[in-house]
Amino acid sequence: MTTNTSNVLSVIMGGGQGTRLFPLTKDRAKPAVPLAGKYRLVDIPISNCMNSGLRRVYLL
């Protein structure tokens, strides 16, 4: 069974002060914190949306 996802809007919450990640968020925003030396934290939920067929993705 396929689902039409063209009308689905995805919102990824990327805000916050990042106090629990402080040493890593001293010079950059929380979504831009590197992960495994190759990705950023925000890349994982964006990739999940893309792989699920969700193309309308917004980052707040």
Give the domain ranges of the chain.
Answer: 24-60
Residue (of 51, 49, 53) closest to 12 by Cα position:
49
| In the chain, alpha helices (H) | 22-25, 43-51
pLDDT confidence of residue 1: 63
Pairing of strands 39-40, 34-35: antiparallel
pLDDT tens digits, one per residue of 7-51: 899 999 988 788 898 998 899 888 899 989 899 999 999 999 999
Rounded to two decimals, the pTM is 0.80
